[in-house]
Amino acid sequence: MKKSILLINPWIYDFAAYDFWAKPLGLLYIASILQNYKEFNIHFIDCTDRYFPDIETKDKKDGTGKYHTEEVPIPECLRWMNFKYKRYGIPLNLFEKKLNATVGNAYMRSLQNDKEINKVDACLITSRMTYWYPGVLKVIELIRKFFGSIPIILGGVYPTLCKEHSQQNAKADFFIYGEGEEQIIQVLNETLNLKLETFFNLNDLDTLPLPAFEFCYNLNHLPIITSRGCPKKCTYCASRILFPKFRQRSPEKVAQEIYFHHKKFNTKHFAFYDDALLINYENHFEIILDQLLKTDINCNFHTPNGLYAPSITLNLAKKMYQLGFKNLRLSLETADAEHLKSLKRDVFAEQLKESVQNLKKAGFDKSDIGIYIMLGLPEQTEEEVIESINFIKEIGASPKLTEYSPLPHTEEWDKAVKNATLDITNEPLLHNNSVYHFISRTLSPKSKHRLKKIISNETTD
């Protein structure tokens, strides 16, 4: 008899959240891998799927939109925050209804393929931000309530970056640290008494099957990953911890995947979520563009993760414009050269200026070009942020403030710990960028308010 595996992407618990083309891409890759084994029936619940049945949702023209929300009690350590704390994603009663169907009727209908199962043999749960762990704990609580002592396997960002906290607080049976595909096969072999062999090689990302997007309810927009990891060493980033080795997929296969999804699902928006999309761009990203330009594809592309500005040549910018790129985001973090060096960033003012000029010559305007400025970095001053904002405006782009969130095991972490007025080491909820800003000795909430007003061209005192 086949083993039934339930994969779950938990809710977001936060003060604010918005869907920028997000889907649980890592879990969808794992779902696709497990579907390749005849031993399994795979079932999938994404608690943040905005198109879940019986939920009303609206998209903006670019495919982004608001999550359904339910207010929940604020955790004790955050009660000093004067904001509402919410659960973002499907209503709790709909999730419980799906689980209750299994217990009450001795079967559960798979949310997508309508297959009936008699039981759940193992549950795989992913996690994203470290400070979203309350969603993980809630899912585990409900799985225990409905399915008892079945093996629960927890992976993702939370256990990888907060190993001890997850072991102490998440009542899972097994923890996956870092990339999960091979580890999950090993755990399932152990827990379910199987002898599965891996058919893929994580050193060659082309050996992985395409993500199981068929488990998603709406495919108008999809995330795309063309690589894993990043060869850069920015002190605030955890990419090298989550993915120690930088690897790129074949550009031809990436282009084929995008075109396939566009034609099969009529996908209109693709968001590149690479940490290093433009590394080795001549032999990678530019080839992806060249391949797609040969097709009849008609959609928009977005880059929510900051692009590496020095790689944006005029030729590359023209191809991006021709293909329909929108909402471009470039990484700067600060215009202060000395601070950039301390962050181990190798993007500087003149390089960024040239990149913006290339994008404008290609046809993009100011509203298309957003440049990230990090707000709340340890040792950062309000004057530094103002200078960065003014510099970006001067070169004809749009400044985009992104609040710093401290990540364990990064080089910037020790500075963040010393800079905090509360214990961020033992409480991941304090990693939240909305929270850390209030407990940081760097910039006050009043400073943050003034900076946002400067960006919106409002008058400040």
461 residues of the chain, pLDDT tens digit each: 899 999 999 999 999 999 999 999 999 999 999 999 999 999 999 999 999 999 999 999 999 999 999 999 999 999 999 899 999 999 999 999 888 765 443 333 344 444 444 589 999 999 999 999 999 999 999 999 999 999 999 999 999 999 999 999 999 999 999 999 999 999 999 999 999 999 999 999 999 999 999 999 999 999 999 999 999 999 999 999 999 999 999 999 999 999 999 999 999 999 999 999 999 999 999 999 999 999 999 999 999 999 999 999 999 999 999 999 999 999 999 999 999 999 999 998 889 999 999 999 999 999 999 999 999 999 899 999 999 999 999 999 999 999 999 999 999 999 999 999 999 999 999 999 999 989 998 888 888 888 888 887 643 33
Sign of CA dihedral 162, 164, 165, 167: positive
Is 457 buried (19+), middle (13-18) or exposed (0-12) by CB count in 10 A? exposed
Q: Which CATH class is domain 219-455?
A: alpha beta
* Cα-based distances in Å from 20 to 116, 225, 378, 442: 33, 15, 27, 28
Instruction: Using DSSP bridges, classify how beta strands 40-46 and 227-228 pair: parallel, antiparallel or unpaired.
Output: unpaired
- CATH code of the domain made up of 3-192: 3.40.50.280
List the domain boundaries for the chain: 3-192, 219-455
Element at 45 (helix H, strand E): strand 40-46
Exposure b/e, 283-302, CB count within 10 A at least 16 = b: ebbbbbbebbeeeebebbbb
**Distance between terminal CA atoms of the chain?**
71
CA distance 259 to 237: 31
| Residue that is written with structure tokens 């004809």 in the block | 396
Residue 459 gets which letter from DSSP? -
pLDDT at 461: 37
CA distance 182 to 155: 12
Whether 116 contacts 109, CB under 8 Å? yes
If one counts every other C-beta atom within 10 angstroms of the C-beta of residue 62, the result is 16
Among candidate residues 229, 219, 176, the one with its CA nearest the CA of residue 30: 176
Among candidate residues 112, 319, 353, the one with its CA nearest the CA of residue 212: 112
Among candidate residues 144, 140, 197, 151, the one with its CA nearest the CA of residue 174: 151
pLDDT at 110: 41
The residues that bridge with 400 in the sheet, in sequence order, are 372
Q: Which long-range contacts (CB under 8 A, 24 or more apart) does 59-63 make?
A: 59/220, 62/269, 62/300, 62/302, 62/326, 62/327, 63/21, 63/220, 63/221, 63/268, 63/269, 63/300
CA distance 387 to 54: 48
Whether 185 contacts 232, CB under 8 Å? no
pLDDT at 119: 81
Q: One-letter amino acid identity for 149?
A: S
